[in-house]
A and B are shown apart, each in its own frame.
Chain A
Amino acid sequence: MIRFKNVNKIYPPNVVGIRNVSLHIKPGEFVSIVGQSGQGKSTLAKMLFCEERPTSGEVIIGGWDITRIREHDVPLLRRQIGVVFQDFKLLPQKTVFENVAFALEVAGEPIKRIRQVVPQVLRIVNLGEKIDRYPHQLSGGEQQRVVIARSLVHRPKILVADEPTGNLDSVNTHEIMELLKKINEFGTTVVLVTHNRDVVNTLHKRVITLEGGQVVADVERGKYRL
């Protein structure tokens, strides 16, 4: 599903993003990527949806070689990958429904399908009732759930979540984690970037630790350890 081979990312002029990373994530896995600030977690995550490209090495995502992908294939790749990002927000002037529908609209999906899919994914994130609210009428946790719902509209094979609980309290964090687990149980591969020790420790899933852009630990059923 996801395969990194000796991947390096150097930001010009010479800032190391990640260094010599090789890893393999199988379909259906739930992987946490941990590490202190500036160690390359987001860099790695961005490569999964082609936001950044490796300086050298090979990144294969679901059959696509990111190093050699053609410009007009990038949108197709992105439709197979859900992205929940630290600073990837909702549009304030759109309702919950419209925010989620937006992801389908811009991909050219017909209205009929939008009317069908949007309530569906909003039910998955337990926001079926609040479909007509605006983002400012929602709590932080609810907003993040809308973002997750939006990332699910294309039924992605991979969900990349970079600090999805960064700004949330423990109750909301717990809700989001339960949601991610549920999505993973439906068969979606989840890659979670996080700082949160408790989150990682209660997951009992694979943990990849980054330091200085390198993988320093990759443990099945791991713990947050720095």
Chain B
Amino acid sequence: MFVSILRITKFAGQNFWRNFWLSLITISMLVLTLLTINVLLVLNLVTDKAIEYVEQRIEVSVYFNAGVEQEKVTNTAGYLRDLPQVRDVETITAAEAYDRFQVRHAGDTAILTSLEEIGDNPFGPTLVVKAFSANDFPFILSALDNPQFRDAIRDKDFSSYEEVISRIRYTTDRIRLFGLGLSVIFLLIAMLIVFNTVRMGIFTHREEIGIMKLVGASNWFVRAPFLLEVIGYSLLSTVIMAALMYPTIAFMETRFDSYFDGQATHLLQYFEMNGWMIFGAQFLAVALISMIATGFAMRKYLKV
């Protein structure tokens, strides 16, 4: 048994080397197919990250009337904090609002002089509310319409990030669809190439195969080398893919992180933690599909 497995491995290796260029093409095509799949995977991760990034920046500013009692502001802030949808409430006192305005318009003397002309602090305190999800804002806004708070509130301003998010989603969904289509096409081409490689392998080994059959080699002994060969292709292409993937991800991560204001995307970490599963699953899938293609080729060209 063991010696048979050894010999089958030897025959599979011979198939590989004798049709070296075909083997190379087959592996390249499998790598290409895996590449599209992995690009999709990374795209998914980055999209999630981008949406999370944007969502974290969504906030509602609640402006109180100038001169409102501090207690009212504290109560409102407390009420909001107790809402399960609210992630964080930041209180900006009237004085802080005044300072911020000054800082923001530091270069604009006209505005600053008119501010001084007013004399009094025209700003009221402000609450800056952050939610866990962009979907929660309508609820939070309507909660503030409660008469208990309504009268003290001058204005609410909801920066409309929803549009940004839906634009990200729209774009990535289209890219994803395109990528998916491309993956399917590549996969089909890869299967055709695997089929053809096995067909050529059977063709170049027809004398050996003829002899094998006549001297009483069992069917699996004739077939196993071809199956083993495509498992080898799958393994090799997955390893090549993984070897290309890690440095690329590491490089991309530095780019993305600066894009997201230094907020870590943890892409590499994700691949390091789930690498065995990600590439293991890809290997299994490619091996399985290649073996099916091999099965078809053997059924058609390898009469036993």
Contacts and interface: CB of A to CB of B under 8 A. Distances in A.
Query: For the side of the interface on A, what is the size category?
Result: 20 to 34
Contacts of A107: 215-218
Nearest to B214: A83
Interface string B36-71: 000000000000000000000000000000000000
Contact of A108 (B1, B210, B304): B1
Contacts of B304: 71
Nearest to A99: B211
B3 A79 contact: no
B215 A154 contact: yes
Interface string B200-222: 00000001101111111111011
Nearest to A80: B216
A154 B216 CA distance: 9
A77 B213 CA distance: 11
B7 interface: yes
Contacts of B210: 88
A75 interface: yes
Interface centre among A77, A89, A105 (most CB of B within 10 A): A105
Query: For the side of the interface on B, what is the size category?
Result: 10 to 19
Given A108-B1, A110-B3, A111-B3, A103 B211 contact: yes
B2 to A, nearest CB: 9
B219 A103 contact: no
Contacts, number: 61
B244 to A, nearest CB: 36
Given A105-B7, A106-B7, A108-B3, A72 B219 contact: yes
A17 to B, nearest CB: 18
A158 B304 CA distance: 22
A91 B210 CA distance: 11
Nearest to B218: A75
A71 B218 CA distance: 9
Contacts of A153: 215
A78 interface: yes
B148 interface: no
A71 B219 contact: yes
Contacts of B212: 102, 106
B4 interface: yes
Contacts of A30: none
Contacts of A75: 213, 216-219
A153 B214 CA distance: 12
Interface centre among B210, B211, B215 (most CB of A within 10 A): B215
A208 B104 CA distance: 113
Contacts of B217: 75, 106-107
Given A75-B217, A91-B207, 17 more contacts: A51-B214, A75-B213, A75-B216, A75-B219, A78-B214, A88-B214, A102-B208, A102-B211, A106-B7, A106-B215, A106-B221, A106-B222, A107-B218, A108-B1, A108-B218, A150-B215, A154-B216
19 contacts: A75-B213, A77-B216, A78-B214, A85-B214, A88-B210, A89-B207, A91-B207, A102-B208, A102-B211, A102-B212, A106-B7, A106-B215, A107-B217, A108-B1, A108-B3, A110-B3, A150-B215, A154-B215, A154-B216
